[in-house]
Amino acid sequence: MCGEMFSNTSSDPSPSPLCPDGGVSNNMTWIAFVAGEGSYNIVVSPSNCQPGTGGQLGAQIGVYADCSFTEAVFCNAPCDLAPVSIPDSLLTPGQTYYLFIDGCAGSICEYNIDVTGTYSSEPAHCDDGNPETINDVYDENCKCKGTDISCDPVRPYAQWESCKIASKNKVLCNLSLLDRMCREMFTTIRTDPKPHPLCPLDGGAAHNMSWIAFVAEEGSYEIVVTPSDCVPGTGGQLGVQIGVYTDCSFTESVICNPACDINPVTIPDSLLTPGKTYYLFIDGCAQSVCNYTIDVNGTYSSKDVPCDDGNPLTINDMYDENCECKGELINATNQENPDKMQIFPNPANENVYVLHTGKYKDIDISILNAVGETIVIQKSKIENGYELHTAGLSPGVYLIKIRKDNVISSYKLVKY
């Protein structure tokens, strides 16, 4: 390595005195390095020095164990123009050290650093600051990375080859199932329907897509998708395109990034509606294939999530611990329907009719949504019953509660 020293004196903390045996710091240049195994010397050679104040010429060179400046493993306070050698015997392999080159009274020199001898090129150990990784080492870009010990590569019913398949299988019904999920993307391009363009507003093309269906929850959180270990696709492109759709018609995306990226992508909870199912995709740029990890950072509720089990004879449908959608059967009295109460059509698209053969002094009908909120709709009295004007209701599952005198019956209504 070669360079020219800095000329200015920084206001940042510096060792005072320069070395345990004295000296004054001036225009310091710092280099952080990790010691390796082997038998070697680090040789720092100043050259082409310009005089400092008072005509002093040369450099002061040393190595500290950290930036508290309490432990110097080597420190040479006198001005010197000759090479300075730091032997490996003073260094602990794998530890980070801080080498300084300081100008005598502001002298400015060029310098060369040579490592003479033999040393190991094995990755040096480090600490990436993540308690959920092990075997942390520096990679080829000197980034400290560890092996994830907590992600789940075999989580069931998680990743699917198409949105259509994901929509017909179990969803990840709570965010704890999505958190710490890791996988390798699918490599093949399927013929199933896919978004075209990839993102409604920004374009892009779909390739080897991986789909994950999940249910959003209440809370303050963000979903972070982190690609890693990417293999280039056709034309050498590298990375992924990531987005979230509200359904498999691909008409509404809550986030969509068609640009190739190898950096984490964050999906904030503010874009999601609690209790709603979303479809997350990870797509390879020109068929690039990556591993990925999904983290849910923050706090979120794990309360029961409403769903529709497809059975018109159940109410209060919720996902269970296995993400199976199950409801409670309406009581037997209601099923026997002694007064021949009729609710039709069900499922319904427009209006619904409630007919009965009994004679009651008072009948009250209300409609509740999946979370128990009463929905205000218009009702018209007709012969032997009521017409409920439900055309304006959003598609979903509702509960019709009918109070006949002092008896309450419940019926599930599916609106499509």
Q: What does the pLDDT look like over 313-356, one tens digit per residue?
A: 667 778 888 888 888 765 433 444 545 678 888 888 888 988 87
Report the run of H or E that residue 175 belongs to, with start and end.
Answer: helix 175-178
Residue 71: exposed, middle, or buried by beta-carbon count in 10 A (0-12, 13-18, 19+)? exposed
Which domains can be identified in the chain, with CATH numbers? Answer: 2-119 (2.60.120), 163-300 (2.60.120.680), 328-415 (2.60.40.10)
Rounded to a whole number of angstroms, the distance between the first and last alpha carbons of the chain is: 69
pTM passes above 0.75: no
Look at residue 280 in the predicted model and tell me its pLDDT. 97
Look at residue 415 in the predicted model and tell me its pLDDT. 85
Return d(Cα 311, Cα 205) in angstroms, integer: 39
396 pairs with which residues across the strands? Answer: 415
Give the least confident one: 66-70, 108-112, 268-272, 323-327: 323-327
Rounded mean pLDDT, 298-302: 84
Look at residue 335 in the predicted model and tell me its pLDDT. 41
pLDDT in tens, 159-182: 999 999 998 888 998 898 899 898
pLDDT of 137 > 90? The answer is no
Residue 36 backbone phi and psi in degrees, to 5 = -110, 170
Rounded mean pLDDT, 85-103: 93
Which residue is listed with tokens 């870009």? 141
Average pLDDT, the chain: 87
pLDDT of 70 > 90? The answer is yes
Which H, E and C letters describe 18-36, residue by residue?
Answer: CECCECCCCCEEEEEEECC
Look at 132 and 61; give whichever has higher pLDDT: 61
